[in-house]
């Protein structure tokens, strides 16, 4: 796990500025505090910051092939490097190190760009082939590791983070046309960034560049499925899932430094800890964060898991006293507007864990692989709701709307959520999903943005997204969106930036590509038996867990931002931006703050996303 940077001038006689490359690399030193390394040869330059996890003695980068004609910098880990190394030795390749980086080099020499399909891991790497005078940039299948790039001044400039490209001199010109999309989804979708000249390499894609230019290619995608003939063999699915999941955890425990696991009160991380405890000779270090607000706190459930599996358990408490420090950390490490407030607890638990270990396994990806989000229950509910008489579909939301006006606090929040579910369930998939995302309503979010700003309409953007979806059933459409957009653009970005801010490597067993490819073809009735979420996990690994976890409601990795925004000082942070900038409609912002303070609506996450946006526009 590291940070990489690079400069490739399309003019072969133009020399790379070594000071500029060093500045680009040093600015992300927290991604790799254990050392740096550089390769420069005329018009190509590669930079590397190292976080030592595997082969501590000889794994330094950049790393070269035996004849010196191939050089690579790698951010990430190739988990099946031992098996690939053995295969390559049988094919005649010689190794000087025990590093997974040298496996990447020899795999490229043996299979060319097809080597990407041989890797099981997370990565973004840059490989220079001296003989071909060709640069290969590659990103892993689902986007665990980031890679940003820009074509500027007749050069291809790239790096793990946007700040490296800005350090090179790429102009920081915001694309305000993404404001509407951002207010709905809380991120800027790839291949775009918030800045005009900077792009993101898509997951499962690679770039080939030479002096004639560059071209992007796709090497992996979700498998095509026959929705009329999905895998419905419950016994076989359970057995195969368990086998793949167990092996995924085993190969992700390959490590030469102290490691542990993030542990929430949910099934996903608890199942990982259960299996890690089976495979480890020593107690697993587990890390949990709790809250003073009981509604968001799962630490008691996490402690039950820690006790059952005899882990070395560590608990930290999230408080709002350091709000400004937290805000500035998010702004600094994400480089562009990123409005998911769960970045806050992710940062806390990463900082907490980094004091004890250098690597952790996490439960991210479980909801995608297992189709475990509550939205899948919502899809099933919508299908049943649409079978009711139209008059009843209209009448029920009206009753709940009246009921919400006579209660307050958490009961009002719950009624509002139920009312939102009912009012959207009669709509088509696209409209339903946008309504779910666009809280407290698309019309309100549109009114937030100054009307003189020309934006890309979120309906048009989402329509373009769904045109690419090959699936017909709403359940599988949701699965497609979770894998192709929410996961790489939100969940994985969140974890990468906050963990690397504290030089902590995170590994995600649920995102083993073998597991993804298999589970995509499993029928929805097997994944969700009746209304039960994550039936496959419950029928296998989760049987090992304390029974309290199996019956607990899903809280998610949230923070009480709605309560924080009832603080007048925090409210003024957002309002002060509106006074000096015409991006937001100040009256709408005040209304959102007022509704949140008076407990009419939970606008916490939206207000947080607006505050993050305002900080990026300063």
pLDDT of residue 181: 97
Measured CA to CA, the distance from residue 42 to residue 280 in angstroms comes to: 48
What's the average model confidence in pLDDT over 317-321?
Answer: 68
> What is the dihedral sign for C-alpha 491, 494, 497, 500?
negative
What's the average model confidence in pLDDT over 497-509?
Answer: 97
pLDDT of residue 409: 59
Q: Percentage of the chain with pLDDT > 90?
A: 78
Six-digit token string for 289: 């964060």
Those residues with Cβ within 8 angstroms of residue 99's Cβ, 6 or more apart along the chain or in another chain: 54, 55, 58, 59, 63, 81
Those residues with Cβ within 8 angstroms of residue 385's Cβ, 6 or more apart along the chain or in another chain: 393, 422, 425, 426
pLDDT of residue 215: 98
CA 348 from centroid of its chain's CA atoms: 17
Those residues with Cβ within 8 angstroms of residue 607's Cβ, 6 or more apart along the chain or in another chain: 561, 565, 574, 592, 593, 596
pLDDT at 402 over 80: no
Spatial contact of 523 and 231, defined as CB atoms under 8 Å apart:
yes
pLDDT of residue 297: 75
pLDDT at 406 over 60: no
Q: Are strands 148-152 and 155-159 parallel, antiparallel or unpaired?
A: antiparallel
What's the average model confidence in pLDDT over 364-385?
Answer: 91
Six-digit token string for 102: 């040298």
Residue of 2, 211, 255, 469 marked active site: 2
pLDDT of residue 582: 79
Lowest mean pLDDT among 263-277, 300-314, 321-335, 413-427: 413-427
CA 414 from centroid of its chain's CA atoms: 28
> Highest-confidence range of 159-173, 382-396, 539-553, 586-600, by mean pLDDT?
159-173
Spatial contact of 326 and 611, defined as CB atoms under 8 Å apart:
no
pLDDT at 295 over 80: no
Q: Percentage of the chain with pLDDT > 70?
A: 90
Q: Using 50, 70 and 90 to split pLDDT, how confident is the model at 443?
A: very high
What's the average model confidence in pLDDT over 373-390?
Answer: 81
Measured CA to CA, the distance from residue 478 to residue 379 in angstroms comes to: 9
What's the average model confidence in pLDDT over 59-85?
Answer: 96
pLDDT of residue 260: 97
List of domains in the chain: 2-218 (3.60.20.10), 234-318+336-371+476-551 (3.40.50.620)
pLDDT at 388 over 80: no
pLDDT of residue 290: 84
Query: Taking all residues of the chain, what is their mean pLDDT, rounded to a whole number?
Result: 92
Six-digit token string for 388: 């009711």
Is residue 2 part of the annotated active site? The answer reads yes
In 140-212, which ranges are E strands? 148-152, 155-159, 199-200, 205-210
Which residues are paired to 124 by β-bridges? Answer: 75, 139
pLDDT of residue 415: 58
pLDDT per residue as tens digits for the range 196-231: 999 999 999 999 999 999 999 999 999 999 999 999
Lowest mean pLDDT among 126-130, 374-378, 464-468: 374-378
Those residues with Cβ within 8 angstroms of residue 475's Cβ, 6 or more apart along the chain or in another chain: 371, 376, 379, 380, 524
pLDDT of residue 466: 96
pLDDT per residue as tens digits for the range 413-434: 565 666 566 667 778 899 999 9
Six-digit token string for 343: 């970045």
Find the helix packing angle between 429-437 and 409-425, rounded to 10°: 160
What's the average model confidence in pLDDT over 336-355?
Answer: 94
């Amino acid at each position: 796990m590291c940070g990489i940077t690079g400069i490739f001038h399309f003019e072969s006689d133009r020399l790379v500025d070594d000071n500029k490359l060093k500045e680009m690399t040093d600015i992300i030193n927290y991604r790799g505090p254990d050392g740096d390394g550089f390769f420069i040869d005329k018009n190509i330059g590669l930079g590397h910051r190292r976080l030592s996890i595997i082969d501590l003695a000889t794994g330094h980068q950049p790393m070269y092939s035996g004849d010196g004609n191939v050089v690579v910098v790698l951010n990430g880990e190739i988990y099946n490097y031992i098996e690939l190394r053995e295969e390559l030795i049988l094919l005649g390749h010689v190794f000087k190190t025990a590093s997974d980086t040298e496996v990447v080099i020899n795999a490229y020499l043996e299979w060319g760009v097809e080597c990407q399909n041989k890797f099981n891991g997370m990565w973004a790497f840059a490989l220079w082939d001296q003989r071909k005078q060709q640069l290969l940039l590659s990103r892993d299948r689902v986007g665990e590791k980031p890679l940003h790039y820009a074509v500027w001044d007749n050069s291809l400039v790239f790096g793990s983070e946007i700040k490296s490209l800005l350090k090179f001199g790429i102009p920081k010109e915001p694309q305000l046309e993404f404001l509407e999309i951002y207010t709905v989804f809380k991120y800027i979708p790839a291949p775009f960034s918030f800045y005009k000249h900077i792009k993101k390499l898509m997951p499962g894609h690679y770039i080939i560049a030479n002096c004639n230019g560059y071209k992007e290619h796709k090497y992996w995608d979700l498998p095509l499925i026959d929705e009329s003939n999905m895998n419905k063999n419950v016994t076989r699915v359970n057995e195969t899932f368990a086998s793949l999941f167990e092996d995924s955890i085993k190969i992700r425990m390959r490590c030469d430094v102290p490691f542990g696991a993030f542990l929430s009160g949910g099934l996903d991380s608890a199942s990982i800890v259960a299996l890690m405890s089976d495979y480890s000779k020593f107690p697993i270090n587990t890390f949990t964060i709790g809250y003073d607000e009981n509604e968001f706190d799962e630490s008691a459930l996490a402690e039950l898991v820690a006790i059952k599996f005899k882990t070395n358990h560590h608990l930290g408490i999230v408080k709002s006293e350091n709000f400004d420090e937290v805000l500035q950390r998010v702004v600094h490490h994400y480089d562009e507007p990123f409005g998911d407030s769960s970045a806050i607890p992710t940062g806390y638990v990463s900082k907490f864990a980094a004091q004890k270990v250098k690597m952790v396994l996490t439960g991210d990806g479980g909801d995608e692989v297992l189709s475990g989000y509550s939205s899948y229950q919502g899809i099933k509910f919508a299908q049943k709701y649409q079978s009711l008489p139209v008059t009843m579909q209209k009448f029920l939301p009206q009753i709940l709307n009246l009921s919400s006006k006579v209660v307050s606090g958490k009961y009002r929040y719950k009624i509002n959520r139920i009312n939102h579910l009912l009012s959207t369930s009669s709509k088509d998939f696209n409209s339903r999903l946008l309504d779910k995302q666009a809280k407290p309503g698309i019309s309100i979010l549109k009114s937030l943005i100054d009307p003189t700003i020309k934006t890309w309409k979120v309906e048009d953007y989402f329509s373009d997204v769904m045109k690419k979806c090959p699936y017909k059933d709403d359940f599988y459409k949701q699965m497609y969106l979770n894998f192709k957009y929410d996961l790489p653009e939100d969940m994985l970005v969140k974890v990468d930036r906050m963990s690397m801010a504290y030089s902590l490597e995170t590994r995600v067993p649920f995102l083993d590509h073998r597991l993804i490819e298999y589970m995509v073809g499993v029928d929805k009735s097997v994944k969700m038996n009746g209304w039960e979420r994550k039936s496959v996990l419950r029928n296998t690994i989760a049987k090992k867990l304390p029974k309290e976890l199996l019956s607990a409601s899903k809280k998610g990795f949230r923070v009480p931002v709605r309560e924080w925004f009832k603080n007048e000082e925090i409210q003024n942070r957002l309002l002060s931006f509106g006074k000096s900038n015409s991006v937001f409609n100040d009256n709408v912002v005040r209304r959102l703050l007022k509704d949140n303070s008076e407990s009419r609506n939970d606008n916490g996450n939206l207000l947080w996303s607006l505050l993050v946006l305002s900080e990026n526009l300063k």
